[in-house]
Every structure is written in C-alpha cells, then in structure tokens.
Amino acid sequence: MEERQRAVEGVVSVADKAFWRARRVFVTGCSGILGSWLTLALLDAGADVVGLIRDYVPQSNLSLTGAIQRITRVDGDIADGELLKRVLNEYEIEIVFHLAAQPLVRLANRAPVGTFETNIRGTWLLLEACRVSPTVKRIVVASSDKAYGDQDVLPYTEEAPLQGRHPYDVSKSCADLLTQAYATTYNLPAAITRCGNIYGGGDLNWDRIVPGTMRSVLFGERPVIRSDGTPLRDYLYVDDIVAGYLRLAECLDDPALYGQAFNFGMDDPRTALDVARLIIAISDHPELEPVVLNQASHEIGRQYLSSEKAHRVLGWRAQYSLDEGLRRTLAWYRAFFQRANDV
C-alpha cells in the first residue's frame, strides 16, 4: 500500500537532507492531512520523528502509508501540558512543528469550547513547554488565513491585523498572537505559518470542498456545496505546504525570523463552485452538476493571501498548479476507495 500511495501523491523531495538527518523532531497533529505528509517528508529526509496522536484513525494517511510504524508514537492530547514537557525532555526534541488543532469551521461554531481548548490552550501549553526545554531550537506554529478575519483590503499581507470574529477564526488569531508573544518576550525561536485552504490526499473531513466533491464524483453522485458557491479562497496543494514548513524551519537559525509570520498561498484565488467544477471536469463523470445548498453561516466571503514575503525571504513558491494538484489528489482518493472495496 505504501508504494501505491507514493505513486499517486508523492512525498516532497525538497528537504535539505543534510540538515534533517538524525534531527529529533516533534510533530503535533501528525495524523492529519498536513501532518502526515510532513511526517513522511521528514522520515524520508532522515529525521527522527516523534508524533503526538490523540485518536488512532486506521484510515488516516499516516496509517495507510505505514509511517505510523516508523515514528515514535505518543498517544495523548495537546492540552496535556505535563505530557508535552515530558516528550520534549525525554526525547531531547530539537525542532517542533505544531499542527494539532480542531480544523473545522462548522464544528467550531457548533461546539466552540472544544475548539478553544485545543487551538488556544493547546498552543500556550506547547509554547510554555518549549520555553522551559533546554533542547528545543526551532518551532513552527500553524496559524491560518482565518486568523485575519474579514478584511477590506485584499490580498492579506502579514501586516494586516488579526481580527477573527467567529470561534474558529478567533482560535487561530489567539494561537498566532500567543506565538508572537512568546517569541517577543522570551526570544523563543518560533515562527508562524498562515496558509490558504490545504488540499491533497489523506483529508478525511468530507465536509470540505475538495475531499467531499471527490468522494461524490468517484461514487457518481452530484457533489454538495454548503455555501452559495461564491466564497473565494486560496487552494494550495499539500506538497507545496510541506515544502514551506520545511524551508521555514531550516531558516530559523536567523533570530530576525523569531515571531514572524509567513503567508503561503497560490496568489490565484478560486470560488468553491470553480473548484467543484474543476474536479468534476477531471473525473469520470463530467456531466454532474453541483448541488448548491446556500446553508453556510459565519464564513468569510472573500479571503486570499499575498505570498510575496515567503517568496522573498524564504525562496518558497508553489510548484503545483491547481489542475495538477487536483489530479494527483483525485488519484489518491481513487486508490483509497479502491482499497476499501478490496478489503
């Protein structure tokens, strides 16, 4: 299964293997879409990876690729501060990627306290554990374009204020500001990523436009769009995001980057309806028409990023077009559902 997964998605090969070889790296949220591909890239680069996993999901990309068998697995919750301190000290962690979060806007609206507990409290507990650790030297914290909230000026640059107003957006604004506070006050070697909508194989949150639409078209069904189809977003292929995370961590030997945030996007925003129709066009059922429910609430209408700072400072730039990324992703889901049918 591992070879088939790699054939349809591919693990990024941009990491500086000399830098990552034998580095002790802690990845929170390693079983999610981004965490799983980041973990695979780190393993391939020779890193010694410790991964925090709250719930074991046998269908996760981390499990299907076999990566879960290649890491030191820690079962626990990001909101357990004593556990985080133990992991950092016991495994003498040098580099931390903090990805653990409750990632769904609709769930955050329905049950905000759990989102705040994970996304805000979990972040300050991890930052505090890093602050008192004698070994941690580099920290990359995942924020989001949602941290900006609704803005009049687009695209968002890193200088825009963080003004989330709804539960998920607020949780990301807070986590972002906490990271800046620790970097500024304690000289913590932490930097922040603010990414557009990440897509790629391994995302099992079917409420999201890309995996939900792909599941529908592979089953020959009309895909459902919860919004009115007009929300405008950046859509960025997961391999490009992984490359950005690795590059940022590699650059954190420069204290001038402590506390800084970097946008990662395509600089080519698309509507939800556009993305659904692109997926339909590359599927085996190009005759399908989306069902537009127009039921989404508390979501920002237009939200996209300028990645100029990441281009200039990090030398990062997206390598995959939306068409190529979607084709690779559709191949992953085709193999995923075929495997389910073969079992």
- The residue from 148, 156, 168, 199 that is catalytic is 168
Instruction: Kindly report the number of other CB atoms within 10 A of residue 338's CB atom.
Output: 11
Helix (H, G, I), strand (E, B) or coil at 292: strand
- The two three-digit tokens of residue 3, written as one number: 């070879």
In sequence order, what are the beta bridge partners of 199?
A: 237
DSSP conformational letter for 9: T
Spell out the residues 6+ positions from residue 258 whose beta carbon is closer than 8 angstroms to its own: 183, 184, 187, 188, 189, 190, 191, 252
Contact between residue 163 and residue 148 where contact means Cβ atoms under 8 Å apart: yes
Using CA atoms, how far apart are residues 172 and 148, in angstroms rounded to an integer? 9
Helix (H, G, I), strand (E, B) or coil at 85: helix
Catalytic status, residue 168: yes
Helix (H) or strand (E) holding 199: strand 197-199
Helix (H, G, I), strand (E, B) or coil at 236: strand
Helix (H) or strand (E) holding 239: helix 238-251
Beta strands 95-98 and 24-28 are parallel
Q: Catalytic residues, which ones?
A: 168
